[in-house]
Structure 1
Amino acid sequence: MPPDPVPSPWNAFLDDVDRQIGSPVALHCLGGFVVAARHGLPRPTADIDVLAATPHPHLVELLTIAGKGSALARRHHLYVDPVTVATVPESYEARLQPLFPNRFTHLRLFALDPYDLVLAKLERNSEVDRDDVRLLARAVPLEVNVLRRRYLQELRPLLGTAAREDLTLDLWAEMIAEARGVR
């Protein structure tokens, strides 16, 4: 079976990154790139947000090749961006989903599962995040009970004071139900 096609404009950029990186590296991706590439949603973004890279020492090489300001970033107007502040569910790694398996020689891209992706956006709660949640609510479709259970079991214990995020989750649950036409 042929590998999944990489959508434009990411295909040429990722092909160039794959050619230039010297060793295999796995990237845990989130953000707008995942919303667009994994779920096919119309979400323009110029970066691939990376939560983790393994083996970790290859992240420096990757950022030299494809980070903001690199030659590839200037050529393609796209770049790899390490996420330095994000709270994600405790067991997210067990649910990572391969992106474009067997497509690249050195790159292994993995996307947060849709619920982990939504929960990673909860603390920031920007307008773009809320738009992504609405889009994912319809495309996946998201189930509020799954989201709430994962929040309570795997994310809430990691938050300092969770009162604000509790309220945000309640609002997002209403937003998801509305987007799905479920009440």
Structure 2
Amino acid sequence: MNREEFYHLLRASSRIIEHERGQRGIDTDVHPARILVLGSQSILGSWHEDYLPEEATYSIEMDVALLPTEDDVMFFDDPAQELVDIIDASIGEGTLFQDEFEIYVQGVEQKTAVLPEGWQARLIEVRGRDYGIRSKVLCLDPYDLCAAKMARLEMKDRSYIAALVRAGDIDVDMLQRRLSQVTDPRMTPALCAQAEDFIAALRRKD
């Protein structure tokens, strides 16, 4: 996914979300939605694809969650789920949108990601107004993103992290420190051991 496609998906997501919020009576110009980009393409909030290894940007999917505002909570029963369901139906996998543009959005809830303590304070804001994005867009800090991937460590996650380390974008020591800040119980002792083994392997290759 390149930056143009990144902005295209954000613009489409924002348009859908703000339309639905406006229908409920929210002044979306004064109180825009907060979109959180999770998953591998969140890295584009920090670096241009020209400076990233190919493994970091090959995905055609972008994971998007909603961080509900006070207005969202007031006007929706379950804003985080309701709005991403609408996104899925409109520009998600298997839609006409994907058929036309060969990229799509996967609507998710923020709680699906296993993140280190303090991740909210490290979010990176994407300045999207110049690209027609009405909502506030936030992306994960690259180290928080990689720490979240360490909670799964599927082959694609391993390739992604290893490529960023080889490129010099991610420092192994800093990644290990960030991993130590994950207190989510879903990060089981077995997963922690697996993550530590992977970090040791990264050090050997480095």
Provide the TM-score with structure 1 as the length reference. 0.74
Shift in Å, 1:136 = 1.9
Aligned partner (choices 63, 80, 85) of residue 105 of structure 2 = 80
Q: CA deviation at 1:119?
A: 1.1
Q: Number of aligned pairs?
A: 173
Q: Is 1:94 the equivalent of 2:90?
A: no
CA contact 1:134–1:175 (8 Å) conserved in 2? no
* C-alpha deviation, 1:60, in angstroms: 4.1
Task: Answer yes or no: is 1:32 the counterpart of 2:40.
Answer: yes
* Aligned equivalents of 2:120, 2:184: Cα separation in 1: 16
Q: Where do 5+ consecutive residues of structure 1 fail to align?
A: 1-5
- State the partner residue of 2:5: 9
> Judging changes above 3 Å, is the alpha-carbon distance between structure 1 residues 28 and 118 closer, same or farther for their aligned structure 2 residues?
same
Q: Give the letter aligned to residue 33 of structure 2.
A: V
d(CA) in 2 for partners of 1:147, 1:65: 36
Counterpart in the other structure of 1:3: none
CA distance in 2: counterparts of 1:50 and 1:69, whole angstroms: 16
Q: Which amino acid aligns with 1:7?
A: R
In structure 2, relative to structure 1, the CA distance for the partners of 1:62 and 1:51 (3 Å cut) is: closer
Tell me how far 1:147 sits from its aligned partner.
2.4
* Contact 2:115 2:147 (8 Å CA) reproduced: yes
Which structure carries more helix by proportion? 2
Any idea what SS the aligned residue of 1:9 has? helix
Residues 53 and 59, structure 1, Cα contact 8 Å, conserved in 2? no
Give the alignment partner of residue 134 of structure 2, picking from 100, 106, 111. Answer: 106
Which sections of structure 2, spanning at least 5 residues, go unmatched?
20-27, 73-78
Q: Which position in structure 2 is the counterpart of 1:49? A: 63
User: Residues 101 and 138 from structure 1, CA distance in 2 versus in 1: closer, same or farther, beyond 3 angstroms?
Assistant: farther
Structure 2 contact 6–44 (Cα < 8 Å) conserved:
no
| Conservation of the 8 A alpha-carbon contact between 2:64 and 2:84 | no
Q: Give, in whole Å, the separation in 2 of the partners of 1:51 and 1:82.
A: 6
Supply the distance in 1 between the matched residues of 2:84 and 2:163 (Cα, whole angstroms).
30
1:126, distance to aligned residue in structure 2 (A): 0.8
Secondary structure of 1:115's counterpart equals helix
Q: Quote the residue 2:192 is aligned against.
A: 166
